[in-house]
Structure 1
């Protein structure tokens, strides 16, 4: 098993530190073990929903408290993650929708996870028959005890503002590399933990 996943699992068992999110007047603190428990439910829901190791999951969310357990859950389920470009108030939504649909096809996303504040795109995904789920639906899933190895942790996309967008694997949570590695990594130890 990789040092990266070993460290995530070890941190989940013993860390007293965590992550602080939210606005300054309404901060919320979650410990790494608490986030990992949520991530295990995300992984369980993804696997129950049919995600297979190596399949791509796109994420359109803006809250770190949602993104952190969703990312870890995708990795625990063996998937790769791509964060979709978020629209801004000045974005031409027609162009953004077309670019986003092109990226989903390019990465062969099997699922789009939608979180706050982007729930308003759900009707667009539904209209195009794109499988999607909300982050809150995933966090209500059954806990998954282990992880499934995958060669790719996430896929990086170039900006759709510079056509055409392109994709590339950007590392592996199951290889002995840091999560910021920019080269595809081959797994030498593909055993999973039960």
Structure 2
């Protein structure tokens, strides 16, 4: 684990992931190792990033010990954002790559993951919620521009509402919601 931490600090993502996989073989039921694998996999190049991250996220979500961890849902949302962008940039579904998921299906899953983060971390000032806003709109949140896994959904009203909540209501046109 310490070696993986060193690789992470050096941003040697593939080396970190290989080292974490070795640690997982030694301790196969260690949730912390899986969570680190999930996090590290997001820094690989797409499509390897989301193809590695999403099965790990599903494994963690199906585990009662980590199912309600907002960080797991946050990283799942990030991986889905990467997958959506990959599909969007390719202008096609992944069917040509041997997969059959549509961009709309990925968008729906990403929105579901974002809503899970908000539900599991209701405090807007909690770390998961702050990071969620940062990867959605780095310019607005004054965060590193490269940390933008959900930025592909910027301007999508459903994502705006899920992530910013009440702030969106104040931007609604006059007459909406009033009697």
TM-score range normalised by the length of the shorter chain: under 0.3
Greater RCO, CA 8 A, separation 6+:
1
**What TM-score does the superposition give when structure 2 sets the normalisation length?**
0.26
Max radius of gyration: which structure?
2
**What TM-score does the superposition give when structure 1 sets the normalisation length?**
0.25
More helix by share: 2
